[in-house]
């Protein structure tokens, strides 16, 4: 990033360069969509600030968003 900046064309070339890297990125994308679906589908729970988990998933990744959502959900359980 320091050398070339945010070059999305180069990023895309690196993603599709090999099948294994494309598969790894597809895995991350499917996991992120699953986390976003979980966050939006659990409307029966009163999870305050669940939008933070969705934002964290989009900006950092599912390995940040899912644990954050589960932690926020546990905090909500303890408040009841």
Show pLDDT as tens, one digit a residue, over the chain (80 residues): 788 788 889 889 988 999 999 999 999 999 999 999 999 988 676 788 889 999 999 999 999 999 999 999 988 888 76
Look at residue 56 in the predicted model and tell me its pLDDT. Answer: 96
Kindly report the number of other CB atoms within 10 A of residue 53's CB atom. 25
Helices (H) and strands (E) in the chain, counts: 4, 0
Look at residue 11 in the predicted model and tell me its pLDDT. Answer: 85
Look at residue 30 in the predicted model and tell me its pLDDT. Answer: 97
Look at residue 26 in the predicted model and tell me its pLDDT. Answer: 95
Look at residue 43 in the predicted model and tell me its pLDDT. Answer: 67
Q: Mention every residue, 6+ apart, whose C-beta is less than 8 A from residue 16.
A: 22
């Amino acid at each position: 990033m320091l050398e070339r900046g945010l070059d999305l064309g180069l990023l895309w070339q690196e993603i599709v360069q090999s099948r294994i890297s494309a598969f790894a990125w597809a895995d991350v994308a499917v996991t992120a969509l699953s986390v976003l679906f979980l966050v939006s589908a659990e409307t029966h729970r009163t999870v305050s600030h669940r939008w933070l988990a969705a934002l964290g998933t989009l900006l950092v990744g599912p390995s940040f968003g899912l644990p954050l959502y589960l932690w926020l959900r546990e905090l909500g359980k303890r408040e009841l």
